[in-house]
Structure 1
Amino acid sequence: MKGALLVLALMVTRELTFKTHEACPVFYETVFAVSLGLPRKALNETLDSVDANEAEKAAFGKLWDCFIEAEPEDRFNHLKYKVTYLYPH
């Protein structure tokens, strides 16, 4: 899972050529859309807002498919661990 997050971070900060402070909100919006299994339309709208190309959309789509196959409880646990990691006590 760490590898997938690294790929996402590199795609957003390097391939989409955004400055880091501009990329962070888009990155987290995309990650949460994928990990929560939000409708594909929400994911595509997020990617369209940053002019993602078809290859990038396909890559995020594959990640989205993996999360959709997971049970809702697993998706919630993944999100819970992510928030805990981002905002430690």
Structure 2
Amino acid sequence: MKETLLLLALLVTGDLSFQTTEARVPFFKGYSSVVSGKRSWLYKKIQAYYVTAGEKVTFEKFQDCYKEGGLRTIFLEPKIMEAMLVSPECQALHSSEDIRTISDLLSKLLEE
């Protein structure tokens, strides 16, 4: 449920005029900032979307959910996302550059 709400929040907050291929990297940057648990990183990433005060509070709540879930939640989510990215179906739909960029972001998050 939390993951679905996060996805919806990021899609609604982002510029809906993005083409699907253009939205992948910004989505994963936003996702990684939420999962990171670091407010400063979150604020830096979402400021590009000119979020409202209410949307900012929503992102903070999502971030709090990941913090409450503990390390298992924080580290399991990026692994699931990374596994999805390297699936044959994903690779057929996405450019290798997009997949590499997103995988690098998730790997960086796992290192922190």
TM class, shorter-chain normalised?
A: 0.7 to 0.9
Please tell me whether Structure 1 or Structure 2 has the larger radius of gyration of its CA atoms. 2
After superposition, the Cα gap between the structure-2 partners of 1:63 and 1:21, relative to the gap in structure 1 and judged at 3 Å, is same
The alignment's C-alpha RMSD in Å is: 2.2
Aligned to 1:17: 15
After alignment, is 45-54 or 68-77 more displaced?
A: 68-77
Q: Which consecutive residues of structure 1, in runs of 5 or more, have no partner in the other structure?
A: none
TM-superposition CA deviations, 1:15-74 (whole Å, max 9, x none): 43341343322211011121232x101001100022122122111111100001122133
Question: Is 1:43 paired with 2:33?
Answer: no
Q: Which consecutive residues of structure 2, in runs of 5 or more, have no partner in the other structure?
A: 89-112
Higher helix share: 2
Question: Is 1:82 paired with 2:84?
Answer: no
Tell which has more relative contact order, 1 or 2 (C-alpha 8 A, sep 6+). Answer: 2
> How much identity, in percent, do the aligned residues show?
23
Aligned residues: 86
Under a length normalisation based on structure 2, what TM-score does the superposition of the two structures give?
0.62
